[in-house]
Amino acid sequence: MLVISTGDFLWFVDQALDEMVRIVRELGDNAASTRPDLPGANSPYAILTHCLGVMEFWGGYMVADRPIERDRGAEFRAEGRVDDLVERTAAARRRLEADIAAGDPSAPPRHDPVYPEDAGTPIASSQAGVLLHVLRELTQHLGQMEGARDVLRNAR
């Protein structure tokens, strides 16, 4: 049986979040909120905002059973000051750590699967599966942010 400590898990979360924060800081307020000129692309600011929503929903609601309010669509339209987003990222990271402490990795998620395609997957079978989903989403979206950053840099 593979056992991963909360500290080890959060180290990987921190790696992804730290790199995302570095990207939006490097771009600055205007460029971080700019969508690359690619079909379906999102701004780095919106991508990081969405990742905070992912952490809130999957960690807060599905693991810790904390009531949340989330407007997923608004996450992709988000724009604003990078400093504010950096502060929200730090707060979301602290909440995720508290949410993990309130959960039980071997227990089922606190709520039924959100999407039918999640039924029968680790996301629907354990809170550890939910947390691995969070990590997968963060790393996937980090790659999207890196691509968006590169396109935006070249457009200047």
Q: What is the pLDDT of residues 47-67, one digit of tens each?
A: 999 999 999 999 999 999 999
Angle at 19 between CA 60 and CA 24, to 5 degrees: 90
Assess if residue 14 is contained within a domain: yes
Q: What's the structural domain count of the chain?
A: 1
Distance of CA 53 to the CA centre of its chain: 6
Q: List the domain range (segments joined by +) for residue 18.
A: 6-155
What does the pLDDT average to over 80-106? 97
Round to whole Å and give the CA distance between 140 and 113: 21
Q: How high is the mean pLDDT of the chain?
A: 96
pTM for the full model? 0.96
Would the pLDDT of 114 be above 90?
Answer: no
Question: How would residue 3 be classed by pLDDT, with cut points 50, 70 and 90?
Answer: confident
pLDDT > 90 fraction of the chain, expressed in percent and rounded? 93
1 inside domain:
no
